Amino acid sequence: MENKKQSIQELVDIIATQTNFTKKNSEEFLKEFVHVLQEYLEKDGFVKVKGLGTFKLVKNEERKSVNVTTGEAIIIPAHNKVSFIPDNAIKEAVNKPYAHLETITVDDDTKNSTIDAQPDNTVREEKSIQDEAKNNSIPNNTVIQQEEPSNNSKKTKKNKKKNPVAIVILLLLFHVAMAVSFYFYKTEIVSFFQRAVTIEENNLPQATIIDNQLSPVSIVADTVVVVETDSMPDTTNIQQPDEIIATYTPELAQNAPIKEYITVNEGSRLTWIAYKAYGHKAFWVYIYDANRNQLKTPNDVKIGMELAIPELDASLVNPNDENCVIKALELAEKYK
Amino acid sequence: MNNKELISELSKRLRVSQNDISNLLASTVSAFSTAFQQGNDVSLQGFGIFQIRKKNERIIVNPSTNVRQIVPPKLTVIFKMSNTYKEKIKNIIPHGK
């Protein structure tokens, strides 16, 4: 999967060109750096390097295991290991090719047809993302493409417990029907123009009416097509969240149904409660809005207080969505 | 040991000013970062190797609301210690601070 392995030597070259130090000095520095890293890991148990991450010495307790070849029970003795937690800057830099991906909410309440269509759409979406990733020279495409169909079938199984073969056939039929309807649609427009030149602005409903008169195949196909466009993800998933985020007012949080009540303990603050309730600290503003009746200022939280946690739209309090977080932070600025 | 202590310790040992050490360190970190962005591994001999791994997308269910979400795939850095270092630290007990 990886293109190349960089050793200390190559790092030294880069460092020497970036700074005014000679290669010899840079190498000395890097070796000493690794040395100090190891020494203080053993001494303190942790080393934090700004911009890179934190190294920690973690103890693994002894545990039982089985020898794979002989089937014999063995005990793995307790040992230490180094855990590395990358710094946020590194994390983001590494994940850049996938940074534009967001967590997608799957609706369970929608009609069966949309459930059928949605996994299909997400797979297609992922595939186009894969193509993008390919351009960015990100390796390992085959693995995901193999994975996705399995995910897909798992999901449909969970949803409806239907025979997977039937679903595959359904999908195939669906695609064939779409192709057929498209063909009819095209030819119909042409003949329509030939018959009635006066009506030049020919739009979709008219074309489908003619389709319906002509053949039963296209009737079926056309209705399916309509369903499909209804459940396209870009209308349901992408535009709406922006609107919700843009039109947020404190009243929304105040009038929202209450998910739960959290009693304030010693040491808990709005940010911590928001983190527990929504998965991100920045969303404290919504809890504050919902509890304006007891809280004059955001710092007014007292031990024993019962705070209402509003049930908000997932697109408003999605901890993985940058827009949500930015919006919440903007609100927070206002309240300060 | 935090970043400050690391810089002062290195500057003491190499007899280089703290300013220069912090420059060197920043340059090292950026070298790591560019290597990772190109998808390369970085190996520090005697210590371990940093690798890029892809975490596949997965479906999560919020247990209280039963909302299902697809978490997108992501790339992360992992660290694997070398065998020699593994042997070395196997049984030591860190004193803590």
Q: What is the CATH number of the domain that holds A287?
A: 3.10.350
* Cα A160 to the center of its chain, rounded Å: 24
| pLDDT(B5) > 60 | yes
Q: Is residue B95 part of a domain?
A: no
- Report which of residues A87 and A102 the model is more confident about: A87
Q: Is residue A2 part of a domain?
A: no
Average pLDDT, chain B: 86
Residue-range definition of the domain harbouring residue B20: 1-39
| pLDDT(A152) > 50 | no
B63 shares a domain with B50 = yes
Q: Is residue A111 part of a domain?
A: yes
B34 shares a domain with B51 = no
**Domain count within chain B:** 2
pLDDT confidence of residue A85: 92
| pLDDT(A205) > 60 | no
Cβ-Cβ contacts under 8 Å, B10 against chain A: 29, 32-33, 36
| pLDDT(A243) > 60 | yes
B24 shares a domain with B46 = no
pLDDT confidence of residue B39: 84
The fraction of chain A above a pLDDT of 90, given in percent, is 2
pLDDT confidence of residue A256: 77
Q: Is residue A240 part of a domain?
A: no
Residue-range definition of the domain harbouring residue A29: 8-96
| pLDDT(A315) > 50 | yes
| pLDDT(A9) > 50 | yes
C-alpha distances (whole Å) from A95 to each of A3, A53, A308, B77 are: 17, 15, 36, 9
The fraction of chain A above a pLDDT of 70, given in percent, is 61
How far apart CA A271 and CA A278 sit, in angstroms, is 10
Query: Among partner residues A19, A89, A95, which is closest to B24 by beta-carbon distance?
Result: A19
B61 in reach of chain A (CB within 8 A): no
B11 shares a domain with B33 = yes
**Could you read off the pLDDT of A96-148 as tens digits, one per residue?**
888 888 888 877 554 343 444 444 444 444 444 444 444 444 444 444 444 44
A46 shares a domain with A20 = yes
B17 shares a domain with B4 = yes
Hey, CA dihedral for A29, A31, A35, A41, is it positive or negative? positive
Q: Is residue A251 part of a domain?
A: yes
- Report which of residues B10 and A148 the model is more confident about: B10
Q: Is residue B92 part of a domain?
A: no
Q: Minimal Cα–Cα distance from A61 to chain B, Å? A: 11
Q: Is residue B22 part of a domain?
A: yes
CATH of the domain at A26: 4.10.520.10
Give the end of a domain, one of A120, A139, A160: A160
Interface test with B, best of A23, A26, A35, A38 (most B CBs within 10 A): A38
| pLDDT(B24) > 70 | yes
B26 shares a domain with B2 = yes
- Report which of residues A47 and A251 the model is more confident about: A47
Lowest-pLDDT range of A78-92, A156-170, B57-71, B77-91 = A156-170
Q: Is residue A241 part of a domain?
A: no
| pLDDT(B77) > 60 | yes
Size of interface A-B (CB pairs under 8 A): 219
A128 shares a domain with A87 = no
Q: Is residue B70 part of a domain?
A: yes
| pLDDT(B34) > 50 | yes
Q: Taking Cα atoms as reference points, which of A45, A46, A55, A41 lies closest to residue A87?
A: A55
| pLDDT, mean of residues A83-100 | 88
| pLDDT(A75) > 80 | yes
Hey, are the CB atoms on B16 and A41 less than 8 Å from each other?
no
Hey, are the CB atoms on B77 and A55 less than 8 Å from each other?
no
Selected residues 31-90 of chain A with any CB under 8 Å from a CB in chain B: 32-34, 36-38, 40-53, 55, 57, 79-84, 86, 89-90
Cβ-Cβ contacts under 8 Å, A94 against chain B: 36-37, 52, 75-77
How far apart CA A206 and CA A212 sit, in angstroms, is 10
- Select the highest-mean-pLDDT range: A105-109, A225-229, B41-45: B41-45
Q: Is residue A55 part of a domain?
A: yes
A212 shares a domain with A256 = no
| pLDDT(A155) > 60 | no
B18 shares a domain with B50 = no
Cβ-Cβ contacts under 8 Å, B25 against chain A: 33, 49-50
Q: Is residue A282 part of a domain?
A: yes
Selected residues 11-50 of chain B with any CB under 8 Å from a CB in chain A: 13-14, 16, 20-21, 23-50
B35 shares a domain with B45 = no
DSSP B92: -
- Report which of residues A151 and A300 the model is more confident about: A300
DSSP B39: T
The backbone region for A140, taken as left when phi is positive above 0, alpha when psi lies in -120 to 50, beta otherwise, is left
Q: Is residue B46 part of a domain?
A: yes
How big is chain B by its Cα radius of gyration, in Å? 19
* Other beta carbons less than 10 A from residue A20's beta carbon: 8
Write the single-letter amino acid at A76: I
CATH of the domain at B52: 4.10.520.10
C-alpha distances (whole Å) from B44 to each of A6, A54, B81 are: 9, 16, 9
DSSP A235: I
Q: Which residues are registered as beta bridge partners of A34? A: none
How many CA atoms within 13 Å lie on the side-chain side of A39? 11
**Domain count within chain A:** 4
Interface test with A, best of B79, B83, B87, B97 (most A CBs within 10 A): B79
What confidence tier does A19 reach under pLDDT thresholds 50, 70, 90? confident
